[in-house]
Chain A
Amino acid sequence: MKKKLAKITIGVIVLFGIVLGYLSSQTSKTGETPTTERAGDETGTSLLPGADKITISGVEMNNFNNFAIYKGKIGDTRFIDEKDFKATYFPQDEAFLINIMASPFDIVRAEAELKFLSVLSLDKEGACKLAVYITTPRTLNPNEAGTNYRLSFCE
């Protein structure tokens, strides 16, 4: 009798285990199954998506950390990386730097300014409240290099 009881108990436990296993396997189907972690997942928390909007110098704008392309050693965050121009935010200076990397300067500058407004979802009035500097290397625009231009519509 005791043997029968033991067999029944074991049988119930095995059956219970099978049911549990089946249920857990069904549960796991609903989720992703990440295997090896992607290298990109380990590149710092600052690139992780955060709030949609941030405020700098009293101006609300899209949170560029959410679409940052590069994060530098002094916290510089590049969020526009077009072939002809780049835009980077420097938290220590609370300033944006737009690098013009093609010529003619004026045309590329205008294009970069439009992109800057568009990416950050800024209007011109708001953008003019920010510290935004536009520079270019000597190799590409020798006559404009060495000057810290402001946004053209703020001048």
Chain B
Amino acid sequence: MSTLEFIDKPKCLMNQLPKLPRFRNLNLQLKTPRLQIFALLTFILLLVATLFFSTKLASAQVPDPTVPCDQIRPRPLNPFDEDEFHSLRPYQASPCSDETEPSALFCGNDLVLTDTITVRRGDARYCQRFSPTEEECFFRVTQNRQLAIDVSGAELPIMGRTEDDVVNSQNQNETRSDASKINDYVSWYLSGVDHKAEYGFSEEEQVVNYSGPIRKLLPLSIQHKSQIETLNRREVERHDQVVVCANQAFLGLIGPSNVNPCNQGGDVYRLSTWAEEDLSFWNSAINTLENIFVGLLPGVARSAIRTSLGDHWNNRYPPLPWNYDDDKEFMKHYLEWRGNSCILVPFPPFFSRSLFCVDNPLVLNKWADLFSYVPLSSTDEDVNSSTEDRLGQIEVINPSIQAVQPDVTISNVSILTSPADLFFSHMEEAQGLADILQDTYVPQGNPKSGPVVGVIRPNQYCDLTQIRTNPGDDLFAGEIGVNLTYTAEFSCGFEVFDPADPIDTYWCDYLGGRCYTDDYDCDNWRPSSSLICPSGYRCGSPPDSCNPDPPNPSCTRNARVVLNTQTRTPLVDDIWSRLVAGGASVFRRIFPQVGEGAPVEGFYDIPAATGVTYSLNPPVPGVSLTAGNPGRRRGQAAELYFPHIGGIEQYFLQCIQTALRPQGFGEVCPVGEIPEGLVTGVCTNTFPGEAEPPLPVPGARCEPAVAGWCSVSTLRRYFPPGTSASTLRNASIVCNIESGGYTNALNDGCLCGRSVDYSVGLFQINLLPSNRCPGAFSGYTWSPPSCTINDLEALQQCTQDYLDPETNIDKAVRMIMDGQWCSWAAARSCGIATGC
């Protein structure tokens, strides 16, 4: 489109040429058009060169300013080269959502700011002489620092790679092999290397060997549904990105489509190209005519004629078979989408219909031919599968300040910090593609992510013994803001200022002055000479201008501000659960049993790391910054850590392949002993207190709920008629204490040794007793508190059931009517249950 516009403009100028010459001289008239043509050509060349070079300049600025989700970045000559970076990350650092949750936290570097406080004696509040020659001066200094810590060089490893050694809009030299992309990166593995705008036509080897599991496993019609979902999500959850670049064989207008790498030109096809326009004007015309004619016919025949002769498929995306009652009507539409014109001919008396189609040159085949380049999206509305960035952060936790020297007292401390944004690429994409992959085996309606089991977490928070890393995509980290205010009080020792008295000499007196040491300041100083004043003195004049000039020595103290950082990595828990550690994960599809005696006894929860550089921007005199690694330092260089991603690389990208190969081939999965004392689970609630949650303190009020699910008025509906008011009131009290009326309350403390609880919902129904959720747990212990999950799917189902408020209340009603008040700690503490 832009190319056509470009050609049109010179034509218009050329048409105006004959009108321009107004010279009477014939020779000039003959020469002038040539000159004008020459000037015009020169102008065009300059214009092209300007556009070309301006493009190159723009290309160096990555990323460009944020592009809103409903906008694209057009480029006049070659839209792909400038406007989008890579089809797997078209708009760097331009997320469609500013949401950072759900995210997982992981420790980061300890940033240490050293603030140097320099004072001079003259600034002292007061001084005390503690010897004839020394004094101690006391200072109170209020420091106010506005600091910006620039975070640069951080990349997100393992999840994807679109930079440097991979072809993108700014780099045409690919040095990373297809095998490496597939083996080392989640995004490439799931989406495959084929059907990418950067590479044009997919080679046979790419389709056979490197197309990834989804394209191979998913039926075509399901892929189509997934691709249509992508079209629907454009400009809302993802940019209207370039899908493919192609030219049609004959004059660029008709014939088969030749797919080009987008940097080599061709018509650019975006998501909207398929979503917003009709398949062909021919089908529009036929359908319109058919509607006119059919409208004149009796009502009975209309439907039959419409489905047989008319109703030509006129969308650029394909029909989906489950929307049809009759397979032949689906095939008619499908073949029409592929560029045919079809009719369904009925044959009386049985009225079976036969499909007749002819390839119609007025209905272009290219929409169907190129549709396979449209990326896939999950059809779960809660799962975003886009190639957009997702916002994460580096945030400061527990900032503290301490003096370096012991004599410094620091008070009135205020440390306000603001997090630095991180733009995580490939997280939404990996989550969505994992969801699609899970669709191939998880029964409809069953959860695909959730609690993880069999995970061996690091001994201590941030005690890192192993990590995984590789070159990734830039996180475009921002700045950590620090607003630091504090008051420092300290003292410094100085020599007492005691200038020597002036002395009189003949010659200096003759010159109108006296001899002074350098501790004095005079209006005029005579040339220094041993004849005028003795050594160490100078002749100053006039004497009444000379006064003692006390020095103002300086003193330095340091305050050290420690900023513990943590990274907030979006979606990573969910991806970890879907791909590796969850009950319905892809990894567990290959290794269904994880536990003692099984080939895989547990998962090491391995983080990923990337190098990072912290610097003060702009530099602030007197303030220095160092960054160290927490826990057992892996090295001196600063690093960022991302939870689970190393484990995803280890188990999803490597171990699955090893499992599918003959013995001895492929990478070896990590082998080791499960450390003693580690609980192989993770709790969803963060309860920092004792192992067993304490009962309410004596005297605490035991109020029935006054609103919501736990209120007496709501509970009354679920109790048998005639239930006493006191029973209803007591039930309301228990419900109110146990859950606070929050229907999704979950205390899974047994998974992490916190308590003997897997308690769910309003009344916190504990599922550990074997009759509550048969088969879910193989056992539990009281000391230490623990439980062993036997059937995760059963547990997830029971959890889901009891999170339903009505199911939960029904269960509680049965327990109450059976007199089982003692089951609830709340009932015991409030005196409702006695004799327990």
- Chain A residues with CB under 8 Å of chain B are 13-14, 17-22, 24-25, 28-29, 32-36, 38-40, 72-74, 76, 83, 86, 88, 90, 92-93, 95-97, 99-103, 131, 133, 135-140, 142-143, 145-148
Contact = CB atoms under 8 A, between A and B. Distances in A.
B284 A137 contact: no
Interface string B685-723: 111110001111100111101111101011000000000
A137 B688 contact: no
Contacts of B583: none
Contacts of B380: 39
A146 B826 CA distance: 9
Given A133-B706, A148-B703, A142 B694 contact: yes
B232 A146 contact: no
Looking at A18, A25, A131, which has the most chain B CB atoms within 10 Å of its CB? Answer: A25
Nearest to A15: B285
Looking at A25, A36, A137, which has the most chain B CB atoms within 10 Å of its CB? Answer: A137
A99 B741 contact: yes
Give 3 nearest A-B pairs by CB, closest first.
Answer: A21-B285, A95-B707, A135-B740
Given A17-B288, A25-B277, A138 B708 contact: no
A11 B714 CA distance: 73
A133 B711 CA distance: 12
Interface stretch (B137-145, B223-231, B550-558, B626-634): B223-231
Nearest to B734: A146
A76 B709 contact: yes
Given A35-B232, A40-B381, A24 B284 contact: yes
B320 interface: yes
A38 B805 CA distance: 27
Nearest to B285: A21
A103 B688 contact: yes
B745 to A, nearest CB: 5
B288 A93 contact: no
B287 interface: yes
Looking at B278, B688, B741, which has the most chain A CB atoms within 10 Å of its CB? Answer: B741
B706 A140 contact: no
A17 B287 CA distance: 9
B225 to A, nearest CB: 7
Nearest to A38: B381
A88 B757 CA distance: 26
Contacts of B697: 142-143
A146 B696 contact: yes
Nearest to A35: B228
Contacts of B708: 76, 88, 90, 93, 95, 97, 133
A133 B225 CA distance: 45
Contact of B281 (A18, A32, A145): A18
B217 interface: no
A88 to B, nearest CB: 7
B806 interface: yes
19 contacts: A13-B289, A19-B285, A20-B289, A22-B285, A25-B314, A36-B229, A36-B232, A92-B714, A95-B707, A97-B741, A100-B740, A131-B706, A135-B736, A137-B739, A137-B740, A139-B693, A140-B685, A142-B697, A147-B701
A148 B275 CA distance: 52
Looking at B288, B740, B749, which has the most chain A CB atoms within 10 Å of its CB? Answer: B740
Given A92-B713, A145-B700, 19 more contacts: A13-B289, A22-B281, A22-B285, A25-B281, A28-B277, A36-B225, A36-B232, A36-B323, A39-B381, A73-B806, A92-B714, A97-B707, A131-B707, A137-B747, A139-B685, A140-B693, A142-B694, A143-B696, A145-B696
A29 B276 contact: yes
Nearest to A29: B277
Contacts of B228: 35-36
Contact of B757 (A21, A22, A135, A139): A139
B736 to A, nearest CB: 6
Contacts of A148: 703, 705-706, 736
Contact of B275 (A33, A72, A139): A33
B702 to A, nearest CB: 5
B330 interface: no
A117 to B, nearest CB: 19
Contacts of A102: 686
B289 A21 contact: yes
Given A90-B708, A148-B706, A20 B285 contact: yes
B44 to A, nearest CB: 32
Given A35-B317, A137-B738, A21 B694 contact: no
A17 B747 CA distance: 67
B707 A138 contact: no
Contacts of A22: 281, 284-285
A90 B277 CA distance: 45
B705 A38 contact: no
A72 B277 CA distance: 40
Given A36-B320, A39-B381, A21 B740 contact: no
B359 interface: no
Contacts of A24: 284, 288
A143 B282 CA distance: 74
Contact of A101 (B101, B693, B742, B830): B742
Contacts of B714: 74, 92
B230 to A, nearest CB: 11
A123 B51 CA distance: 55
B315 interface: yes
Nearest to B742: A99
B695 to A, nearest CB: 6
Given A17-B286, A32-B276, A133-B707, A138 B701 contact: no
A29 B277 CA distance: 5
Contacts of A88: 708
A99 B707 CA distance: 12
Interface in B756-793: 757, 759, 764
Nearest to B694: A142
Looking at B701, B702, B708, B736, which has the most chain A CB atoms within 10 Å of its CB? Answer: B708
Contacts of B229: 36
A103 to B, nearest CB: 7
B57 interface: no
